[in-house]
Amino acid sequence: MISCIAIDDEPLALRQMVDYIQKTPFLELVNQFESALPALRFLQDNKVDLMFVDINMPDLNGMDFVKSLSNPPKVIFTTAYSEYAIEGFKVDAVDYILKPISYPDFLKASERAHQRFKTTISDTDEITHNNEFLFIKSEHKILRINLSEIKYIESMREYVRIHSETDKPVMALMSMKKMEEYLPESDFMRVHRSYIVNLKKITTIERNRIVFDNKVYIPVSDQYKEQFQEYLKKNFLI
């Protein structure tokens, strides 16, 4: 996930930016500000990946705010004035969005930031493992996840979401193919393009679907059906 903050002195514009961030799967809103000064104080003690910054603000405008940071996060400028575009790119802004901002325009700029992060983060940077547990980098933390506690793993485009018995789901930048390589084949099986399941956690199969907690239904796709059926045959008591 890309952690980010939004800064805009117009409450409606800030609310719109917050809404856009919250509906974008690979973005995580950390904080929001109606001026640059509290954001400046926040960044002294907190690290974020990306900022959405309005340029025309009182006290300290967005451009001067970014220039004042010794090691600024990546930035996407938002403004109603096109004359700042060239200056924005001089400070290596990811993008520059003109108001009024539509969600497609916001998403296009956010995807550009996403691509920049993907070029600097590889799958091997995100996970270390053995046969008992994984260490996953997620949201600027390193989390230990016991393999025995994983129920299933869900694909979320460039990310995976790991569902376990004990904690809330964990998101990590990782392809499903790479994730498979780190899991023991004796315990885990891919049953769908979007799902890997812990075979030891399966208790119910209903109409070619694996049921977890009586509310999560994971389909077994045709591509993986034969392999899954072979597993069932080996463990089926007639």
Average the pLDDT over 49-62 and give the result: 90
Q: Is the pLDDT higher at 144 or at 84?
A: 144
Let me know whether 20 and 99 are in one domain: yes
Type of residue found at 44: Q
Domain boundary among 75, 104, 120: 120
Is residue 182 pLDDT above 90, yes or no?
Answer: no
Let me know whether 99 and 128 are in one domain: no
- Residue 123: the pLDDT is 43
**What's the chain's length in residues?**
238
Kindly give, in sequence order, each residue whose CB lies less than 8 Å from that of residue 32, ignoring residues fewer than 6 positions away: 5, 6, 7, 14, 17, 18
Let me know whether 103 and 156 are in one domain: no
Domain boundary among 120, 135, 170: 120
Which range of residues forms the domain containing residue 96?
2-120
Domain boundary among 120, 148, 167: 120
- Residue 191: the pLDDT is 95
- Residue 125: the pLDDT is 45
Let me know whether 96 and 172 are in one domain: no
Split into its structural domains, the chain has a count of 2
pLDDT tier for residue 106 given thresholds of 50, 70 and 90: very high
Let me know whether 149 and 202 are in one domain: yes
Average the pLDDT over 22-31 and give the result: 92
Let me know whether 158 and 89 are in one domain: no
Kindly give, in sequence order, each residue whose CB lies less than 8 Å from that of residue 154, ignoring residues fewer than 6 positions away: 160, 161, 162, 163, 169, 194, 195
CA 81, CA 153: separation in Å to the nearest integer? 45
pLDDT tier for residue 82 given thresholds of 50, 70 and 90: low
Let me know whether 102 and 150 are in one domain: no
Lowest mean pLDDT among 116-120, 161-165, 177-181: 116-120
CA 101, CA 13: separation in Å to the nearest integer? 9
Let me know whether 22 and 112 are in one domain: yes
Lowest mean pLDDT among 119-133, 144-158, 186-200: 119-133
Let me know whether 148 and 224 are in one domain: yes
State how far the alpha carbon of 201 is from the alpha carbons of 128, 135, 212, in Å: 23, 21, 8
Q: Is the pTM of this model over 0.85?
A: no
Is residue 16 pLDDT above 90, yes or no?
Answer: yes
- The answer to whether 157 and 24 are in contact (CB under 8 A) is no
Nearest CA among 197, 188, 198 for reference residue 220: 197
